[in-house]
Structure 1
Amino acid sequence: MGTEHATRPAFLPGQPLPVPSDTNASVGDGVYAKDGVFRASRMGHFESDGNATLLSVRGERPPLVIPRPESTIFGRVTRVMPRQATVSILVVDGLPCGGALNAAGASTNRAAGEGIDGADFQGILRQQDVRSTEKDSVVLSQCFRPGDILRAVVISLGDARSYYLSTAGNHLGVVHAVSSDPDMCGSLGWAPSARAMQPISWKEMADPVTGMVEPRKCAKPDWL
Structure 2
Amino acid sequence: MRKSENGTLPVISVMRDVESQLLPDVGATVTCKVCSINSRFAKVHILYVGSTPLKSPFRGTIRREDIRATEKDKISLGDAQSNYLLTTAENELGVVVAHSEAGVQMVPISWCEMQCPSTHSKELRKVARVQPQFLQT
TM-score, reference length from structure 2: 0.69
* 2:22 paired residue number: 65
Among 179, 188, 207, the alignment partner of 2:116 is 207
Deviations 1:169-212 (A, max 9, x none): 2111100011222xxxxxxxxxxx1x211111011112234433
* Pairwise CA RMSD: 2.6
Secondary structure in 2 matching 1:87: strand
Query: Percent identity at matched positions?
Result: 41
Deviation for aligned residue 1:72: 0.3
- Asked if residue 216 in structure 1 is aligned to residue 125 in structure 2, the reply is yes
Equivalences, count: 112
Deviation for aligned residue 1:64: 2.1
Contact 2:69/2:91, CA 8 A, preserved across alignment: no
Contact 1:197/1:206, CA 8 A, preserved across alignment: yes
- Asked if residue 93 in structure 1 is aligned to residue 30 in structure 2, the reply is no
| Stretches of structure 1 lacking an aligned partner (at least 5 in a row) | 1-60, 99-118, 136-154, 182-192
* 1:142 paired residue number: none
Which letter does structure 2 place at the counterpart of 1:172?
Answer: L
Deviations 1:130-178 (A, max 9, x none): 1046x9xxxxxxxxxxxxxxxxxxx554234511101022111100011
- Asked if residue 121 in structure 1 is aligned to residue 58 in structure 2, the reply is yes
d(CA) in 2 for partners of 1:178 and 1:84?
A: 18
Structure having the higher helix fraction is: 1
The correspondence of residues 5-154 of structure 1 with structure 2, limited to 5 A, is 64-98=21-55, 119-132=56-69
The correspondence of residues 170-189 of structure 1 with structure 2, limited to 5 A, is 170-181=91-102
Secondary structure in 1 matching 2:65: helix
Contact 1:68/1:156, CA 8 A, preserved across alignment: no
Contact 1:68/1:157, CA 8 A, preserved across alignment: no
TM-score, reference length from structure 1: 0.44
- Asked if residue 158 in structure 1 is aligned to residue 86 in structure 2, the reply is no
d(CA) in 2 for partners of 1:84 and 1:216?
A: 13
